Structure 1
Amino acid sequence: MKPVPTGQLTRTADGADLVLVRTHRAPVADVWAALTEPERTARWFGSWSGPAGPGRSVELTLTAEEGNPTTTVEVLACTPPVHLRIRAVDEYGTWDLEARLAEADGVTTVELVQHLADPGEATSSGPGWEYYLDRLLAVLREEPMPDFADYHPALVGHYEQGLAALDGR
């Protein structure tokens, strides 16, 4: 599989937003469940446990990463089935993420936004989010899982170009 990068960078007052979009022909409630129910998130990203809700934290175990690392994830906002914002801090940095969902004519659009204090992080996190969102679609569509080797380093150039454009180069 040759993945097609969708990530775009936009300047913000605090750094940059990395925005990636995927669409799937399904009701928004089904896609929301794949993003938020622990048994479904485990199929493509990671399992989680704990009392979910705004102002609360859950323990996330990444099921597609070597060693299945675990991290605490704080739920900043949650408006089912259209908006989720979370924050996690681990040895790789701070992950400030939003998922925005919308349905039109039976097609649900997922917009994943990573708020980056350092826009340069997009060169490593962009290919990773492309991979994870394609894993989400593979689960929803009952297709084979993509291979991370197809995403990194192959998509790094796309994000380097995005950084150059962001900086006016």
Structure 2
Amino acid sequence: MLDIANHLKAIHREVRRGTTSGGETVTVLVRRRYDASVEDVWDAVTDPARVRRWFLPLTGDLREGGSFQLEGNAGGDILTCDAPRLLKVTFGGPSSIVEVRLTGNGEATDLELEHTVPIEIAQSGAGALFVGPGWDGALMGLALYVAGEAPEDPVAAANSPEVQEFNAGSVRAWSTAVEESGTATAEEIAALAQVSMAQFAPDVATP
């Protein structure tokens, strides 16, 4: 049985607005600790045979300078691949950047994922509600896999009542994170939380 409360609590969430040479951006950051070596976690997030066991089927020219495609999801270019510490890719478009950083902590590993997009795509910090719950689900899937508890078919499991309950909690947690960041209005948060809930937890009754 999925321990929804503890999986939600295990993830640290942040939302930021910033400025780069390309203009204003919105960044979501998630962080979680895994009871596995940094080498093992790196392998779990970069080996296609293992990625499909907790996330999605992965194909492509999987090296720095190559490209990748997640089945039914985003693809992109591999900008940096510095094993076992740093993976940086475009994700769904050239201006959408995902950076994964791994840090060994004794027998454990801290994984930090940052996803940055232009303000034109996100509109406001509330844009985090489009991607944050998805990354939460990926981090939970990795945790189940590392613990030897991954479902036989993670894609099918993503639509289960338990995972949808987790997703609903994730949407609420991201709404709080956006509110605390001061990067969106209450109206923007409420509107996109409703859209996010329909996407990630369509079968969960909301008040």
In structure 1, the partner of 2:81 is 78
Structure 1 unaligned segments of length 5 or more: list them: 62-68
* Higher alpha-carbon deviation: 140-149 or 10-19: 140-149
Match of 1:24 in 2: 34
Distance 1:115 1:97 in 2: 7
Give the counterpart letter for 1:23 in structure 2: R
Tell me what 2:146 maps to: 140
Determine which structure has more spread, i.e. the larger CA radius of gyration.
2
How far apart are 1:10 and its partner, in Å?
Answer: 2.4
Percent identity between matched residues is 23
Give the alignment's Cα RMSD to 1 decimal: 2.3
CA contact (8 A) 1:127 1:151 kept: no
Which one of 168, 178, 198 corresponds to residue 163 of structure 1?
178
> In structure 1, what is the Cα distance between the partners aligned to 2:89 and 2:163?
24
Report the 3-state secondary structure (helix = DSSP H, G, I; strand = E; otherwise coil) of the residue aligned with 2:168.
coil
Whether the aligned pair in 2 keeps the contact of 1:60 and 1:71 (CA below 8 Å) is yes
1:115 to 2:116 alignment: yes
Give the paired residue count.
Answer: 160
Partner of 2:195: none
| TM-score, structure 2 normalization | 0.69
Contact 1:32 1:80 in 2 (8 A): yes
The answer to whether the 8 A contact 1:127-1:152 is kept is yes
Greater fraction of residues in helix: 2
CA contact (8 A) 1:6 1:130 kept: no
Shift of 1:48: 1.9
Aligned to 1:126, which of 128, 132, 139?
Answer: 132
Moved over 3 A (4+): 144-147
Aligned partner of 2:92 in structure 1 is: 89
Q: TM-score, normalised by structure 1?
A: 0.82
1:1-58: CA deviation from partner (whole Å, max 9, x where unpaired): 3233521112321322211111112211100000000000011112222222222212
Structure 2: 5+ residue runs without aligned partners? 152-156, 186-207
